[in-house]
Amino acid sequence: MRSDTGFYIDGAWRDAAGHDTAQVINPATEQAIADVALGREEDVEAAVAAARRAFAGWSRTQPAERAELLGRVHRLVLERLELFAQAITKEMGAAIAYARSAHVPVAAEHIRVARDNLAAYPFTTRRGSTVIVREPIGVCALITPWNWPLYQITAKVAPALAAGCTVVLKPSELSPLSARLFAQVMHDAGCPPGVFNLVNGSGPVVGAALASSAEVDMISITGSTRAGVLVAQAAAVTVKRVAQELGGKSPNILLPDAAFDRVVPLGVAAAFRNVGQSCSAPTRMLVPRARLRDVERLAAAAAAQLVVGDPLDERTTHGPIANRPQFERVQSMIRVGLGEDARLVCGGPGRPQGLHTGFYARPTIFSNVKTGMAIAQEEIFGPVLAILPYDTIDEAVAIANDTVYGLGAHVQGTDMDTVRAVARQIRSGQVHLNHPAWDPNAPFGGYKQSGNGREYGIEGMEEYLETKAILGYANS
């Protein structure tokens, strides 16, 4: 078993001997694979102080210099793709083929996009005799989750550095191995000391210390709505900026003229990607009542094609749930669905046949779900899809918006005028029409309890900028 007990602070790995440690559990075997030190308040203070010292110089660098660093980081992540993929598979159970094809490449894309947007961004503009300057906000604390461990790191670190900020990263203590590999990439890419810092630890200790620190100018968190609320409360005392990307219960509206043979399997795949552990996963499929039985048949057939098993097996499409608490949460919610008298189309509680060890869940689909049911309202964060019938398009829109969340949504149909009109009525930060390709420049974030602020693209970098107006600057 590995022992990764150091923190990356001020350009060097610092020993954390004597600290409490947490075991990293491989969810496929339920065995410990590493010990990781848990940071203390003094570790946070050291990392924040390093970031504060580095900010004065880094914030004044030219965009070209920051872009060059991001280019080196991008190249090294791709060169070490297999190292990252293996770590992600072992720490949170992603199928190795999916880690290689999705987790690592899309993480690298966030770095490339930040680099390219930086090169063309107008940090200074003129409005009459007033000059508008966009300046880096300062020291940024970044808290990332366990479900997309590398992807969420690069979605925050890359735009923050592009903006000219310095950062302290707190990855999830449940999946910290890829974060440590990323810290080494930053070091090997020649990141100046203090510009990037890494402190592992728990939310109640490291996360709380970062949120409450008067030396942190901004905090960005991706996690549960509960965690986001706690961070915002702790940050309020110092009036720092808080960006939150939180929970979701995204709808997928299949309009009456949709190509059901195509969009139902795609909808199942989207709901179950990353074993359903995606905050924007479209886990509510809204379908015309007259097509309900057809959709059930198509959805069951699509689910039957999934291969759940050893994530290191190249044939596996879906590995285990990432950790025991989440596995137990998924099992509990499946039992809730059965108790609510939703119609079980496939799956159910327990592990798939033949799998006796590991946090494996059966891909589960419920139908004839009513919008008031718990499985239609609560974020389950596992391979569980709810199919809800509707009678009119207006009712479908109402059901789609009947949630405390507003992160993502999907609309499928042939008449694009109707598809676009429905999309405009949905209260969410992103809407996908007819399963388009992923766009790393499309801003991502939520309405309502899905959070505030945006990540990805230009808007993602602007989260880390302050706006200064200099009046009379252009007067003769």
Q: What is the pLDDT of residues 49-82, one digit of tens each?
A: 999 999 999 999 999 999 999 999 999 999 999 9
Mean per-residue pLDDT, 82-102: 98
The single residue of 91, 279, 296, 462 carrying the catalytic annotation is: 279
Active site residue 245: yes
| CATH architecture assignment, domain 2-246+450-470 | 3-Layer(aba) Sandwich (3.40)
User: Is 45 in the active site?
Assistant: no
| Residues of the chain above pLDDT 70, percent | 99
The confidence score (pLDDT) of residue 50 equals 98
Mean pLDDT computed over 418-439:
98
- Residue 474's pLDDT is 82
CA torsion sign for 435, 439, 445, 447 is: negative
pLDDT of residue 278: 97
State the pLDDT at residue 300: 98
Catalytic, out of 173, 245, 379, 455: 245
Residue 4 pLDDT level (bands cut at 50, 70, 90): low
Q: If pLDDT is split at 50, 70 and 90, which confidence band does 17 have?
A: confident
Whole-number Å distance between alpha carbons of 8 and 193: 10
Contacts of 392 (CB under 8 A, 6+ apart): none
CATH 3.40.309.10 segments of the chain: 251-439
- Contact, 118 vs 194, CB < 8 A? no
Instruction: Say yes or no to pLDDT of 143 above 80.
Output: yes
**123 pLDDT higher than 80:** yes
CB 151 within 8 A of CB 98: no
Share of the chain above pLDDT 90, in %: 97
Q: Which tens digits make up the pLDDT trace of 171-182? A: 999 999 999 999
* CATH 3.40.605.10 domain locations along the chain: 2-246+450-470
Look at the domain 251-439 and name its fold. Aldehyde Dehydrogenase; Chain A, domain 2 (3.40.309)
Residue type, 410: H
User: Would you say residue 165 has pLDDT above 70?
Assistant: yes
Average pLDDT over residues 116-120: 96
In this predicted model, which residue has the larger pLDDT, 474 or 147?
Answer: 147
